[in-house]
Structure 1
Amino acid sequence: MAFQDLLDQVGALGRFQILQMVFLCISNLVVYPHILLENFTAASPGHRCWVHVLDNDTVSANGTGILSQDALLRISIPLDSNLRPEKCRRFIHPQWQLLPLNGTFFNMSERDIEPCVDGWVYDQSSFPSTIVTKLAIADTCAAFAPTFAIYCVLRILAGCSTMTILTNTTMLFVEWTEPRLQAMAIAMTICAACVGQMTLGGLAFAIRDWHTLQLVVSVPLFVFFLFSRCLAESARWLIITNKPEEGLRVLRKAAHRNGRKNAGEALTMEVLRSTMQEELEAAQKKLSVRDLFRTPILRRRIYFASFVRFASYMPFFGLILHLQHMGSNVFLFQVIFGMVNLPASYIAFLALNHMGRRVSQMLFMSVLGISILTTTFLPEEMQTLRVILSTLGVGVSSAAVMCSSAHGNELLPTVIRATAMGILGLAGSIGAALAPLLMILTIYSPHLPWIMYGAFPILACLVVLLLPETRNQPLPDSIQDVEKERKGPRKAKKEDTFMKVTQF
């Protein structure tokens, strides 16, 4: 924890940190839309089976062409329970007896119906082209992928890169600032992502073709790649991983940009080694993933923080990846959700600073679970209230994710924080991946996926109680710093007892 003394000398929030934050925020703004891109590139437009009498331009239904499209649709596509045309089934033969108005409610036998053996016809009023309407995919690489399988592989690689960038951004923010500013730094990363979310909604509204949209959001990444060399590595991480010379060089660079040249010149290798002697000795041993689970306190923190991350990401992505379940105007919902996340991030920042990490997470998680469960059992006729509660759920879920990110970074030691955050990120990614897969459960009950989205955050509230509070506490640099948690209360207790006896 001695690194904080060095950071105070070179400046914990000066021009150096501000420039870093600006670059990382813009990076988040550009990267985050790739997580939500499938809301538009993979949107499932309205569709029905292709039928001979409707979609074959060379054939007329009755030789005279006097029947309307609605009439032809009536005799070709059966109605579902809501009296709307089925999306994936059609009549084997035209049902002429359904032409009279009083024939709408005929009970048809399953023997008269078949699946879409000749493909589908898609409504192109909102999306002229999405990956759902192609099998041959013609985006930078994904836009030109020749097959759907290659497109999926490229999107998986993009997803891995996107989550790595977002995780590294948060760690760099945290490791270059003092404890009282860490919540603010993380709030800035979330706000930048929210702006990216709103930007995506506007771009998708203006660019309906998915190939062009994918290119527009991908090409700017090359520009930021060229400027990424200006980004400084975490000096804290360099020192803890036994690279003190490089860490010293970056610290001097920070002191110079912050206008503290004298402090930079006074910062020598001898000063660094004497200040962080214990951490440098611990850095002589190379650590692996196994070391995360060898000591009891760190192991417990990893397990509990991973579950909290899983339980916060699942409903978050369950809401923002299912815009079509909330209404037809997915572009407006994308912008609204991004706008709601901005004040939600500010509220989370205030809560983290005034109520602490644990209470903030419990508050937002419980409100998230309750809002989702309430929306689940509201009748569909109350669409306005459903949208309001869903929007509230998105805002609260964003606040919960921010609290989980702040708390998770502060629970883990610098020496292995990147690896540990990778595990927490993996837990979050599993929750994000399960979010759309849970929709398969609608075959048993339409409410079941949403019940699970609401239940897990409430369970996470109980798990958060098992984690320590970290507000305004210095970051642990080594595993030993974490394990000292067990000895701390005992030592304090003995000192208190000694003081009482002496005073007596």
Structure 2
Amino acid sequence: MGFEELLEQVGGFGPFQLRNLALLALPRVLLPLHFLLPIFLSAVPAHRCALPGAPANFSQDTWLEAHLPREPDGTLSSCLRFAHPEALPNTTLWGEGQTPEEPEGKPSTVPCSQGWEYDHTEFSSTIATEWDLVCEQKGLNRATSTFFFAGVLVGAVAFGYLSDRFGRRRLLLVAYVSALVLGLASAASVSYVMFAITRTLTGSALAGFTIIVMPLELEWLDVEHRTVAGVLSSTFWSGGVMLLALVGYLIRDWRWLLLAVTLPCAPGILSLWWVPESARWLLTQGHVEEAHKYLLRCARLNGRPVGEDSLSREVRALNKVAAGERVVQRPSYLDLFRTPRLRHISLYCMVVWFGVNFSYYGLSLDVSELGMNVYQTQLLFGAVELPSKLLVYLSVRHFGRRLTQAGTLLGTTLALGIGLLVSSERKSWSTALAVMGKGFSEAAFTTAYLFTSELYPTVLRQTGLGLTSLVGRLGGSLAPLAALLDGVWLSLPKLAYGGIAFLAACTALLLPETRQAQLPETIQDVERKSVPSSLQEEEMPMKQVQN
């Protein structure tokens, strides 16, 4: 017998599973609060050189014009000042109707040697204003996002491997505690170096949420309800995106903002008392008695009349099946490439995850050109993700995971491509296309988690997700740096985001379909299906269910 039959006896979707989804909603909400936090944390308000005797406001009065040069677009420079403003005409001596004349030759300019003055109208404090990460240092401001996602990348590898070896629930506790401690340390940073290090380590801790939560939910669900539960669970991410807009609006100081998004980890630690370990994983590791305990708890909460003796016999029978897969070696990333079909899945999933992350974070972190303030843009970007979940739910049920993954990535590509053809003066069209691109990229992200979790066997599911998440976070870490390409050509960042998304869309079509398929338990379950034609891939999962 298979685990699906055993799960059917104790209830594959009921109060037990709903409670599990509710308990695991918190890490889903916390992830966007941290992943998209640089929108507010690293915001760069209007600024200019600190000048003795300068007016308190940022109005372009004649005094500032005598001390600050103008940029090509006509605005006063944020990074330079005149070396000898006294050589310029004395603005207080101009007569009515007169204008200052340029002295002979071009006035020499120098960098801001006495720091900067910032406009605190929108933000009372950000890391850019805290450590003057502007002008020549603006690369360090962008780099904080790259450091964070580099930490997520490393954490994905560690948590993927360790959760397959030591269990999902235990490593989720490690992720919660680490995120809480490191988040508090980040908020208390006394230097940029300390902030960069603690923020990178926080990313490593949060990686545990990204690759543990979805499998821990799916491994307790039957085939029929996997899609609806997966999409429902992902709506908590969208809720977190919109919540970030509200929290960022209410808290304008970066330290208090970071503290506000970190403290919810404390009740999350307490909630793990009620979160069950994956019975699938326990059986593949030979922990029959513990799996038996959780299955009985599931049956009771779901109101299923299951006898302990009969359930024990079936659990032992299932354990004999899984025993053939267990070897002396622990799960390894090399196992993902040892057999032909797993190698096929792993390589293509890596490309898809890179494209999904690169385009999603490229769109999400660039909110400066939409003609709205940062809070309105963030709220709109979060709101558009909700209908994208409905799109995913309908599409994966009717067209399958593979076509949905490719289609959503193609939609992202088209939105970015058409956006390049629209004049910058037509703000409404640019905003609409950016919002559409954000919706499609979120739909691609939702599908990627569901699709990848179904492709890998239970014994390597976390390891597989760890690998693909590693490559995905590499894409996420490069996205903020790709935005700096606008210095070479203004349209180059969007071309990069769209081109990578298109490559990922084409690659997704090479993956096998998993619609209505039972979750594979062992490597042999995956390899029994020789890489089939696209028609056979659609038919085989249906035959498994009928049998």
TM-score normalized with structure 2 length: 0.82
Residue in 2 that maps onto 1:230: 274
Residue in 2 that maps onto 1:19: 19
Describe the shift of the 1:170–1:110 C-alpha distance in structure 2 as closer, same or farther (beyond 3 A).
farther
| Mapping of residues 245-256 of structure 1, within 5 Å | 245-256=289-300
- On the 8 A contact 1:273/1:280 being kept in 2, the answer is no
Runs of 4+ in structure 1 deviating by more than 4 angstroms, as ranges, are 97-111
Give 1:364's match in structure 2, choosing from 391, 396, 408.
408
| Mapping of residues 351-390 of structure 1, within 5 Å | 351-390=395-434
- On the 8 A contact 1:378/1:386 being kept in 2, the answer is yes
Aligned counterparts of 1:244 and 1:105: Cα–Cα separation in 2:
88
SS at match of 1:445: coil
Structure with higher Rg: it is 1
Kindly state the Cα deviation for residue 46 of structure 1 after the two structures are TM-superposed.
1.2
Q: Does structure 1 residue 241 correspond to structure 2 residue 285?
A: yes
SS at match of 1:114: strand
Residue in 2 that maps onto 1:501: none
Residue in 2 that maps onto 1:316: 360
Give 1:124's match in structure 2, choosing from 107, 112, 120.
120
Kindly state the Cα deviation for residue 154 of structure 1 after the two structures are TM-superposed.
1.6
Aligned counterparts of 1:104 and 1:439: Cα–Cα separation in 2:
38
| Mapping of residues 94-493 of structure 1, within 5 Å | 94=85, 96-97=88-89, 112-135=108-131, 140-268=184-312, 270-286=313-329, 287-486=331-530
Q: Does structure 1 residue 84 correspond to structure 2 residue 75?
A: yes
Aligned counterparts of 1:251 and 1:403: Cα–Cα separation in 2:
28
Aligned counterparts of 1:344 and 1:210: Cα–Cα separation in 2:
30
- On the 8 A contact 1:53/1:72 being kept in 2, the answer is no
- On the 8 A contact 1:136/1:147 being kept in 2, the answer is no
Describe the shift of the 1:248–1:133 C-alpha distance in structure 2 as closer, same or farther (beyond 3 A).
same
Kindly state the Cα deviation for residue 243 of structure 1 after the two structures are TM-superposed.
2.1
Kindly state the Cα deviation for residue 229 of structure 1 after the two structures are TM-superposed.
2.0
Once the two structures are superposed, residues 277-319 of structure 1 have per-residue CA deviations (whole angstroms, 9 ceiling, x without a partner) of 3322212343322111111110111110011011011111111
Q: Does structure 1 residue 70 correspond to structure 2 residue 114?
A: no
Aligned counterparts of 1:488 and 1:240: Cα–Cα separation in 2:
27
Q: Does structure 1 residue 34 correspond to structure 2 residue 34?
A: yes
Aligned counterparts of 2:407 and 2:113: Cα–Cα separation in 1:
51
Aligned counterparts of 1:98 and 1:364: Cα–Cα separation in 2:
61
- On the 8 A contact 1:255/1:264 being kept in 2, the answer is no
Aligned counterparts of 1:377 and 1:399: Cα–Cα separation in 2:
24
Once the two structures are superposed, residues 342-399 of structure 1 have per-residue CA deviations (whole angstroms, 9 ceiling, x without a partner) of 1111111110111101111121111101101222342221111111111111111000
Residue in 2 that maps onto 1:502: none
SS at match of 1:324: coil
Kindly state the Cα deviation for residue 251 of structure 1 after the two structures are TM-superposed.
1.2
Aligned counterparts of 1:375 and 1:105: Cα–Cα separation in 2:
42
Describe the shift of the 1:350–1:487 C-alpha distance in structure 2 as closer, same or farther (beyond 3 A).
closer
Q: Report the more deviating stretch, 25-34 or 382-391.
A: 25-34
Kindly state the Cα deviation for residue 203 of structure 1 after the two structures are TM-superposed.
1.3
Q: Report the more deviating stretch, 45-54 or 397-406.
A: 45-54
In percent, how many aligned pairs have the same letter? 31
Amino acid at match of 1:282: E
Runs of 5+ unmatched residues, structure 1: 58-67, 494-504
Q: Report the more deviating stretch, 157-166 or 380-389.
A: 157-166
Aligned counterparts of 2:104 and 2:360: Cα–Cα separation in 1:
42
Kindly state the Cα deviation for residue 244 of structure 1 after the two structures are TM-superposed.
2.3
Aligned counterparts of 1:323 and 1:466: Cα–Cα separation in 2:
33
Residue in 1 that maps onto 2:136: none
Amino acid at match of 1:433: S
RMSD across aligned positions (CA): 2.5
Describe the shift of the 1:307–1:102 C-alpha distance in structure 2 as closer, same or farther (beyond 3 A).
farther
Kindly state the Cα deviation for residue 102 of structure 1 after the two structures are TM-superposed.
8.3
Runs of 5+ unmatched residues, structure 2: 134-182, 538-547
Q: Number of residue pairs matched?
A: 479
Residue in 1 that maps onto 2:138: none
Residue in 2 that maps onto 1:54: 54
TM-score normalized with structure 1 length: 0.89
- On the 8 A contact 1:31/1:221 being kept in 2, the answer is no
- On the 8 A contact 1:353/1:471 being kept in 2, the answer is yes
Amino acid at match of 2:326: A
Kindly state the Cα deviation for residue 77 of structure 1 after the two structures are TM-superposed.
1.5
- On the 8 A contact 1:183/1:349 being kept in 2, the answer is yes
Kindly state the Cα deviation for residue 108 of structure 1 after the two structures are TM-superposed.
9.3
Q: Report the more deviating stretch, 109-118 or 450-459.
A: 109-118
- On the 8 A contact 1:91/1:113 being kept in 2, the answer is yes
Describe the shift of the 1:302–1:117 C-alpha distance in structure 2 as closer, same or farther (beyond 3 A).
same
Residue in 1 that maps onto 2:137: none
SS at match of 1:140: helix
Residue in 1 that maps onto 2:84: 93
Amino acid at match of 2:81: R
Aligned counterparts of 1:80 and 1:213: Cα–Cα separation in 2:
33
- On the 8 A contact 2:89/2:101 being kept in 1, the answer is no
Q: Report the more deviating stretch, 43-52 or 90-99.
A: 90-99
Describe the shift of the 1:105–1:177 C-alpha distance in structure 2 as closer, same or farther (beyond 3 A).
farther
SS at match of 1:433: helix
Describe the shift of the 1:56–1:459 C-alpha distance in structure 2 as closer, same or farther (beyond 3 A).
closer
Kindly state the Cα deviation for residue 487 of structure 1 after the two structures are TM-superposed.
7.8
Residue in 1 that maps onto 2:151: none
SS at match of 2:273: helix
Q: Report the more deviating stretch, 463-472 or 319-328.
A: 319-328
